[in-house]
Amino acid sequence: MAEYAGKPIGVESIAAYEREFGEKATEWAAILSENAEALKSGRYSLHWLDPKDSGWGRRARPSSRGLTYADVNQLPQSGELPKTATWLNFAPRGSIREPYRERMPVVESYTVLDRDELWADNVITLYEEAKARQWNATRDIPWSELERLPDDLEKATCQLCTFLTEVEFVAGDFPAKWLYRIPQDFLEVKSFLSTQIMDEARHQEVFRKRAFAGGGLLHSAPGFEWALKAILDAPTHTMGTFLLNLLGEGLVLSIFRSGEMIAKTHVDKEIFRRCLQDEARHVSYGVLELKNSLDHAPDHEAAIEELHRFADVGELVILSAFSEPALVEPLAVLLGGGLAKIDQGMEGMAKLWEMFIAEYLQRCDRAGFARDERCKIPKQAIWAK
């Protein structure tokens, strides 16, 4: 028998579905009956021809790059972004929906109702940019040029790709977890998060392919897993976005930049360069989403303190991934230029660490979250002398 969430999908769950739509929520049946009767009798409603007071009639005009959300949002009839969402169904913002409210269902999954748990001032720009800068891991990487590397460098590359394959899709799963909780009125945010999911699917794909093109995947690691779980289990969207987009993806962005720098083939350079562009978009959303949330918090001091408490834990769990030998050592081997030069690579890694943390703290500052004095991640690498 098939299972869902550990429970058998069988007679009971189907019976529950039947009760829900057959006995409890029966409004749809009344609507079907009325509609069918009207259609049978040949009566037309044509109510949809009446724009009422919607403002229908003003036409959206494309800007130089096409018709963007920003262009459409200039029209008054496109509907205002609500501070708190009250439409908990799929009726589009800007449609004539009020007359039908009472007969529409409530989607109970929509629980993130506060704009300031989601919004970022750059989200529309980032959505347009994300669409325009999509790439294809099958076609846009010159796979046929991939050169065979010495064994130590190939294994280091494959291990780095294993790490990236393991961690990348949390940045897809996390927005996916929240996406269906976000009402349709926040369509711009939902659209951007959808691109992030696509980006992460592509990253997972490209690193998996790179590993197999070099011999295969190598070791997963428990430290990675705990960091990913800490992201996925974040109590709020803003906290999780801080941990994922600002800290986690900020660090992965640094790894991509390092990956491009230490890449031993043009193929690997291209992979890392493409990925770092996507990652930087996600980081930008994370910074301004956090800023918006803190700027509009009803009790700013309390919001900051809560975030500090969350970061006190989150930073250390993330550190568990970034201290794993399955990550640090292959990076050092690639940076040093071979297994025999791993010590030199570790010295270089210590410099990179300082840069990673400095950039993280700058981004926190930019978001209005002064984290410098409470940061739990050491500002110098654990192994630095």
Partner 1 sequence: MSRGDRVPFPSLAWFAKLGERMNADRVRHEHLGYVDCTVEFAVRDAYGPGRPLRAQVTFEEFAAVDVREAGPADAGRADFTLEADAKAWREMIESIARGKGRPALDQTLNYLSHFDSPFRVCAADPLKRDLYFRYNQSLQEFVNASAQLETTFDRRG
Query: In Å, what is the CA distance from 62 to each residue of 28, 129, 191, 192, 324?
Result: 38, 16, 19, 20, 50
The SS3 call for residue 157 is helix
Nearest distance, CB of residue 73 and partner 1, angstroms: 18
Of 79 and 259, nearer to partner 1 (C-beta) is 259
Question: CB 34 → partner 1: shortest distance, Å?
Answer: 48
Question: Of the candidates 339, 1, 300, 362, which has an alpha carbon nearest to the alpha carbon of residue 149?
Answer: 339
Spatial separation of the C-alpha atoms in residues 237 and 290, rounded to whole Å: 10
Contact predicate 330/358, CB 8 Å: no
Nearer CB in complex with partner 1: 110/256: 256
Burial 208-218 (b: 16+ CB within 10 A, else e): bbbbeebeebb
- Which of 61/309 has CB closer to partner 1? 61
* Nearest approach, Cβ of residue 118 and partner 1 (Å): 18
Quick one: 219 or 269, whose CB is closer to partner 1? Answer: 269
**In contact, 206 and 140? CB cutoff 8 Å:** no
Residue 286 CA, distance from chain mean position: 9
Least CB distance to partner 1 at residue 266 (A): 7
Distance between CA atoms of residues 92 and 77, nearest Å: 11
Nearer to partner 1, 111 or 344 (CB): 344
Rounded CA-CA distance 142/266 in Å is 8
Of 85 and 349, nearer to partner 1 (C-beta) is 349
Query: Which CB, 32 or 355, lies closer to partner 1?
Result: 355
User: Under a CB-based contact definition with an 8 Å cutoff, are residues 130 and 201 in contact?
Assistant: no
**Closer CB to partner 1, 202 or 281, in the complex:** 281
Burial annotation 115-138 (CB, 10 A radius, 16+ → b, else e):
bbbbbbebbbbbbbbbeeeebebe
Nearest-angstrom CA–CA distance, 73 and 55 = 13
Handedness of CA 261, 268, 130, 283 (dihedral sign): negative
CB of 378 to partner 1, least distance (A): 20
Shortest distance, CB of residue 193 to partner 1, whole angstroms? 17
Least distance between partner 1 and beta carbon 257 (Å): 6
* Interface with partner 1 (CB under 8 A): 64-65, 122, 125, 128-129, 132-134, 253, 257-258, 260-261, 263-266, 269, 272-274, 276-277, 279-281, 283-284, 287-288, 351, 359, 362-363, 365-366
In the bound complex, what is the minimum distance in angstroms from residue 282's beta carbon to partner 1?
10
| Burial environment of residue 254 by CB neighbours within 10 A (0 to 12, 13 to 18, 19 or more) | buried
Distances (CA, A) of 75 to 3, 54, 98, 185: 47, 11, 19, 16
Residue 19 or 133 with smaller CB distance to partner 1: 133
Please report how close the Cβ of residue 366 comes to partner 1 at its closest, in angstroms.
5
